[in-house]
Structures are given as C-alpha cells and as structure tokens.
Amino acid sequence: MAETEHVCQSCGMPMSEEDYPEGSEQGDFCHYCMVHGEFTSTKEEVKVKIADTVQEMTGRSREEAESLAEKKMSTLKRWQ
C-alpha cells in the first residue's frame, strides 16, 4: 500500500488507517483529537501536546517548541 501524507488537521500527527476515529470516513482528524464526532481537546491543549512532542524529538527550548507548534497549527484546517 502506498504511503500517504495524511496528517491530522487538529494536531498535525501523521495518520495511518488505524488512527482514524471509529466510524469516521472523513479522516481529517485522528482518534486522539476526535471521539464520536466531538473534539477532545482545546486549542491550548493541542498546542501543549505538539510542543511536548517537538521538545521530545528535537530537544528545543519550550519557547521555540511552542512557536513551532503555533506555526504548525496555522496550517491545519481546524484552526483556520
């Protein structure tokens, strides 16, 4: 099967088929962000989650990680 570039339009996580919420064919959001058609986290919570991941993966400062998180979120559908 071909790799897709699909990422969650809320948290930016790359998604494979098992990351889609149960019963959702739309596929814009991962099952962490959306449960039964409802978002599970606020904008602030998503930002914290992305910044945590950035820090973990890159060892950047909190300030840099949060600014990268904001930049990333500005490209995602949920925050337009």
As measured in angstroms, the least distance from the Cβ of 11 to Zn ion is: 3
Min. distance of Cβ 74 from Zn ion in angstroms?
16
- Evaluate whether 43 touches 64 at the Cβ level (below 8 Å): no
Choose between 44 and 63: whose C-beta lies nearer to Zn ion.
Answer: 44
Which residue ranges make up the site for Zn ion (CB under 5 A)? 8, 10-11, 30, 33
Distance separating alpha carbons of residues 37 and 54, to the nearest angstrom:
27
Residue number, 38 or 63, with CB nearest to Zn ion: 38
Measured CA to CA, the distance from residue 32 to residue 78 in angstroms comes to 14
